[in-house]
């Protein structure tokens, strides 16, 4: 189940976010997508554009984001632009507005209910969130046209679920064309073949002790074999069996800053272990703590505090997305910016 970020202002004493997520990571491949937007274009995002962006992006311009078709055509570039030009763009947006737009763009860019008389917008088939449904680790193959979830739920058995771009299971005939193999940490390879019923590919493997690094090879592509590394910290656990707590939001700004420091420590541990695909967990907690901090009267009374809080939100988003999509260099570069932003917030609220 994907992570949903709840980012409307709430009382500081309330828990902001209930994370229903799978504790997994995927190495040596493009990682899972970890945001599902509770916001829609017409109800949440377009009003922000109308308030803050119309001075530079006129409503009647051919590429104006005030048109839904333009906005969804450039969501990836829009995220990049907001992050790359944070010094200018985020100055126009509040911390909460920035997070709302980023969550919408990164989380599927849902349309919502258009005003009466708005021309219909043709959308491509929805691209499924890169999150597993069986408690496994995610990867993508064939240029992100197929999603692969590796599941190691018991000894001597490894399963691979394959879905299409919309998250639908492949027909048996197509699944049978994707034979491959799984290599365990010792390098011993076991063949993958479609299981009876055609719900998944399965391999019989040897006895392996967690944590374990498996290499999944899917054959049959004209570009060659697809190789996905999957680093299991433990056996796969069905999502419904996981209990991941809500973000705990303290009652004072100083205590919130201290909680951010705790999540910063978790971030450093994940990066040290190379588990970039799990960075969305602590960074989602940080984003929600930052949202609470931005709503605090102790923040609003100080221009400098507003600035450092916004800086941390931008840095947290950058690290979150780089953890999902990039390798060690990008993650470590984003982590440096995140470190600096955390230090600035701690100094501002000590």
pTM of the model as a whole: 0.63
Q: Does residue 324 belong to any structural domain of this protein?
A: yes
* Neighbouring C-beta atoms of residue 231, cutoff 10 Å: 20
pLDDT in tens, 272-327: 988 887 898 899 999 999 999 998 999 989 999 999 999 999 999 999 988 887 78
Residue 339 and residue 255 share a domain: yes
Least-confidence region, from 77-81, 170-174, 243-247, 306-310: 243-247
- Does residue 173 or residue 246 have the better pLDDT? 173
CA distance 294 to 331: 25
CATH of the domain at 215: 2.60.40
Amino acid 274: pLDDT: 87
Q: Is residue 194 part of a domain?
A: yes
pLDDT greater than 80 at residue 76: no
Q: Are residues 98 and 161 in the same domain?
A: no
- Tell me the pLDDT of the chain averaged across its residues: 79
Greatest extent of the chain over all pairs of C-alpha atoms, in Å: 64
* Cα→Cα distances 226→148, 157, 275, Å: 11, 21, 21
Residues 116 and 50 grouped into a single domain: yes
Q: Give me the mean pLDDT over the 153-169 stretch.
A: 88
Tell whether 130 is covered by a domain.
Answer: no
Using N-to-C axis directions, what is the helix angle for 303-325 and 95-106, rounded to 10°? 10
pLDDT digits (tens, 9 = 90+) for 118-136: 766 655 556 777 777 888 8
- Distance (Å, rounded) from C-alpha 33 to C-alpha 24? 12
Mark whether 349 and 253 lie in a shared domain: yes
In this structure, the answer to whether residues 195 and 142 fall within a common structural domain is: yes
Q: How many domains does the chain have?
A: 3
| pLDDT at 72 (0 to 100) | 73
Instruction: Identify whether residues 60 and 117 lie together within a single domain.
Output: yes
Q: Pseudo-torsion of CA 331, 337, 340, 341, nearest 10°?
A: -110
Which residue, among 107, 86, 104, has the nearest Cα to 95 in the 3D structure?
A: 86
Q: Are 120 and 149 members of one domain?
A: no
Q: Is 343 exposed, middle or buried (0-12, 13-18, 19+ CB in 10 A)?
A: middle
CATH code of the domain in which 324 resides = 1.20.120.290
Q: Does 283 fall in a domain?
A: yes
* Residue 271, in any domain of the structure: yes
pLDDT tier for residue 74 given thresholds of 50, 70 and 90: low
The pLDDT of residue 101 is above 80 = yes
Which neighbouring-strand residues pair with 137?
150
Residues 146 and 226 occupy one common structural domain: yes
SS3 for 190-258 is EEEEECCCCCCEEECCCCCCCCEEEEEEECCCCCCCEEEEEEECCCCCCHHHCCCCCCCCCCCHHHHHH
Q: Is residue 340 part of a domain?
A: yes
Q: Domain range for residue 267?
A: 246-350
Q: Give the residue among 103, 89, 86 at the shortest CA–CA distance from 8.
A: 103
Choose one of 124, 146, 178: the last residue of a domain: 124
The answer as to whether 15 is a domain residue is no
Indicate if 150 and 203 belong to the same structural domain. yes
Q: How far apart are CA 95 and CA 48, in angstroms?
A: 12
Upstream peptide bond of 71 is cis (omega within 30 degrees of 0): no
Backbone φ and ψ of 88, nearest 5°: -100, -50
Residue 202 and residue 230 in one domain: yes
Domain membership of residue 316 (yes or no) is yes
Domain boundary (124, 147, 172) is at 124
Q: What pLDDT does residue 4 have?
A: 33
Answer yes or no: do 190 and 174 share one domain.
yes
The more confidently predicted of residues 350 and 158 is 158
| pLDDT at res. 167 | 82
Q: What percent of the chain has pLDDT over 90?
A: 36
What tokens does 229 get? 């590394």
- Residue 235 sits in the same domain as residue 297: no
- Where is the domain boundary, 221, 240, 259? 240
């Amino acid at each position: 189940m994907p992570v949903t970020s709840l980012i409307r202002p709430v009382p500081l004493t309330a828990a902001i976010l209930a994370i229903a997520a799978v504790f997994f990571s995927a190495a040596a491949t493009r990682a899972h997508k970890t945001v599902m937007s509770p916001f829609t274009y017409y109800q949440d995002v377009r009003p922000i554009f109308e308030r803050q962006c119309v001075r530079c992006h006129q409503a009647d311009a051919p590429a104006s984001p005030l048109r839904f078709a333009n906005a969804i055509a450039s969501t990836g570039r829009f995220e990049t632009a907001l992050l790359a030009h944070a010094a200018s763009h985020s100055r126009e947006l509040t911390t909460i507005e920035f997070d709302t737009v980023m969550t919408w763009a990164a989380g599927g860019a849902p349309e919502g209910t258009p005003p009466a008389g708005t021309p219909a917008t043709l959308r491509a088939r929805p691209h499924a969130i890169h999150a597993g449904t069986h408690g496994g680790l995610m990867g993508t193959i064939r240029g992100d046209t197929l999603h692969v979830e590796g599941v190691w739920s018991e000894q001597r058995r490894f399963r691979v679920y394959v879905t299409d771009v919309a998250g639908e299971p492949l027909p048996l005939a197509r699944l049978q064309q994707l034979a491959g193999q799984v290599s365990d940490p010792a390098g011993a390879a076991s063949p993958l073949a479609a299981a009876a019923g055609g719900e998944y590919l399965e391999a019989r493997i040897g006895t392996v002790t967690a944590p374990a690094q498996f290499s999944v090879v899917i054959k049959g592509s004209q570009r060659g074999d697809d190789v996905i590394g999957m680093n299991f910290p433990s056996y796969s656990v069905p999502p419904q069996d996981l209990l991941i707590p809500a973000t705990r939001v303290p009652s004072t700004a100083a205590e919130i800053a201290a909680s951010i420091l705790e999540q910063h420590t978790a971030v450093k541990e994940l990066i040290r272990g190379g588990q970039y695909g799990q960075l969305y967990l602590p960074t989602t907690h940080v984003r929600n703590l930052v949202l609470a901090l931005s709503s605090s009267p102790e923040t609003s009374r100080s221009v400098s505090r507003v600035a450092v809080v916004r800086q941390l939100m931008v840095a947290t988003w950058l690290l979150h997305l780089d953890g999902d999509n990039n390798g060690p260099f990008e993650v470590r570069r984003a982590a440096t910016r995140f470190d600096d932003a955390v230090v600035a917030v701690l100094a501002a609220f000590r």
